[in-house]
Amino acid sequence: MINLIKRFLLTIWFYIGFFGYVVIYGSIVLLISKIISKISGEKKADSYLRKVVYKFGKNAFKLLGIKVNVESEIDINEIENEQYMIVANHQSLLDIPLIIGYIYPTGFIAKKELEKAPIIASFIKALGSVFIDRKNPSKAAAALRDIKRKLEEGRKLTIFPEGTRTLDGKVKPFKKGSLMIPYRYNIKILPVAIDGTYYIIKKGEHLLNPHNVNIKIFKPLVPKDFESEEDLRNHIFNLLSSEVN
């Protein structure tokens, strides 16, 4: 009973914070970003936006009283100016602010459905995200071309190759061809294992549950070191599974 009350209070606090921080403050930030873009150019607007969402990502977990432990095989700052993609397992909706706040404020390769999410969609779209409509082959092909263009521009993107959130906390098999873009164009990959967000809010549930989160950042991988996209997929799957499963 006490645990249920704690979960209920945490959930209320979460939604109050979401409305105040994301909806109200987020709308103001997006407006300021557009003004900066018109006055000083897109580059400064982009820099401003990334600094704000980076703080948001960190504060989201601090305000919920959730401890995030980060273990990294590299210093992220050393590759800040390099081109790479983050490849991570997907446990919950909290994975997005987690990556933004504790790794890098990247754009995301996301399902078309997320484009309908209020304010959040506007934020991740402004970060250079690409929404893929898997049901429409022609639009999916156009999205892949957009991904290639953004990577060539030097933008960093995050992909969840499982395709959707896990139902049991374990890493699901990666979708076939999910890493074809970085493999074909030899884009460095930063593998990231996420463990714990699944227990905070499971797919289909609405009440939050306090739980620590662990992140393991592996050394970057060079796709050309693997014989095929399938070999690359299997290697990263095994890396992430070793930390999560």
What are the two backbone dihedrals, phi and then psi, of residue 117, each rounded to the nearest 5 degrees?
-65, 125
Mean pLDDT by 10 residues, the chain (245 residues): 80 82 84 93 91 90 92 92 94 94 93 76 85 76 85 89 92 94 93 96 86 96 96 97 89
pTM of the model: 0.90
- The domain locations on the chain are 68-244
Task: Spell out the residues 6+ positions from residue 104 whose beta carbon is closer than 8 angstroms to its own.
Answer: 76, 80, 86, 156
Give the start-end residues of each E strand in the chain.
68-72, 84-88, 107-111, 130-132, 157-159, 188-195, 213-217
Distance CA 196, CA 13 (A): 19
What pLDDT shows up at residue 118? Answer: 67
Distance CA 159, CA 157 (A): 7
What pLDDT shows up at residue 80? Answer: 87
With beta carbons less than 8 A apart as the criterion, state whether 163 and 175 touch. Answer: yes
